[in-house]
Homo-oligomer: A and B are copies of this chain.
Amino acid sequence: MSSFSVGVDLGGTNLRVAAYTRTSGLLETILLPTRLSAGRHAVIEDMCQAIRKLLANHSLQHELVGIGIGTPGPLELPAGRLHNPPNLPGWDGFELRVEIEACLDMPVTVESDANVAALAECLLGSGHTLGIDSLCMLTLGTGIGNGIILNGKIWHGANGMGGEAGHTNIWPDGPACGCGSNGCLEMYASATAVRRIALESAQSGKAPAIAALAAANPDFTPRDLSDLAESGAPDAQRVFDDVGRALGIGIGDLVNTLNLPLYVVGGGLANAWNLFSPTLFKEVRHRSYVYRLTEPGSAVLNGNMNTGTRIIAAELGADSGLLGACILPYTLSEQRTADTPDTTLR
């Protein structure tokens, strides 16, 4: 009998639950609203009901490998406890893993949403395409999520909180970030930041095209702004130039510290890759001599190394969080049978 898993993508707005096999991908997906106003126990009950439905629909044809849950963080591991998650207001201290397991009467694995998205991108997306199983992914959304995968496994750190590079310092005296710091990467390269920076430039009087967009559509999205830049408006392009610069500084730090073979930029804002990547690459070359030594065509690559440092847009789209939750039980099942050497990358 072939195997299947159930994955959950718990978001602040939507709750997606899917059954998945390695060969067929997503077998069945249930999409629900996340009823935050009904309280966290109602959300857990909705989630568990959907999980039970999928288990009932697929357990006859397939053997269950496990259940994976991707959740907004910060998530403390191994406890599976949330700490003041900005996208799940009121859930501070919630014992997410324990509560789901009590409701289902089955073990589950919980992970932060940015970690499972990075896992999916590594095992099913660009990492798979390039034959690379270690990467660092930045997910540019409302905030900036981050996941680090080393040799095919999520890097947790000591308390499950590794991979918060969305809060890397860019400008120490920059705007106040929700995390309590100032001038984090998230304040310059998230969807929220793009809107704020665009509005500030419109208010400065130096961005006539953005001012016209904001007047016509006060709720304009980053997509509206990227359309404007693509139509040739230099003031809109400048916003994405700034996004690229901040990402270049942040990714430069990550390259210098981690020297991974692959850095991936995902999330909705990654649609504007062509608009912000020129300044991103210019900045990361300025910031990181490790990048200059190891970028495609560099000194190290012309030597006897068969790998270097790649920075690319994510291959998987909005499904990466759900797919990552689905493949998580498979990776844990494989880890139980085979350990791999660690601090030297494969």
Contacts and interface: CB of A to CB of B under 8 A. Distances in A.
Given A164-B290, A305-B79, A156 B342 contact: no
A345 B342 CA distance: 11
Given A252-B169, A304-B79, A158 B259 contact: yes
B74 A293 contact: yes
Number of copies: 2
Contacts of A153: 342-344
A257 to B, nearest CB: 5
Contacts of A261: 158
A167 B288 contact: yes
A287 interface: yes
A290 B184 CA distance: 14
Interface in A110-159: 134, 146, 148, 150-151, 153-159
A182 B245 CA distance: 14
A170 interface: yes
Given A341-B339, A343-B153, A309 B167 contact: no
A299 interface: yes
Contact of A259 (B134, B161, B294): B161
A206 interface: no
Contact of A258 (B151, B162, B292): B162
Contacts of A102: none
A180 B289 contact: yes
Given A81-B303, A161-B259, A290-B74, A343 B168 contact: no
**Contact size range, A:** 35 or more
Interface in A293-339: 293-294, 299-300, 303-305, 307-309, 335, 339
A160 B342 CA distance: 14
A229 B153 CA distance: 47
Contacts of A259: 156-164
Contacts of A157: 258-260, 345
A293 B158 contact: no
B150 A343 contact: yes
A254 B252 contact: no
A179 B287 CA distance: 8
19 contacts: A79-B303, A151-B342, A155-B258, A158-B259, A159-B290, A159-B293, A159-B305, A159-B309, A161-B259, A162-B259, A165-B256, A169-B249, A169-B287, A181-B287, A181-B289, A339-B339, A339-B340, A341-B342, A342-B342
Interface of A: 74, 76, 79, 81, 83, 134, 146, 148, 150-151, 153-165, 167-172, 179-182, 249, 252-254, 256-261, 286-290, 292-294, 299-300, 303-305, 307-309, 335, 339-345
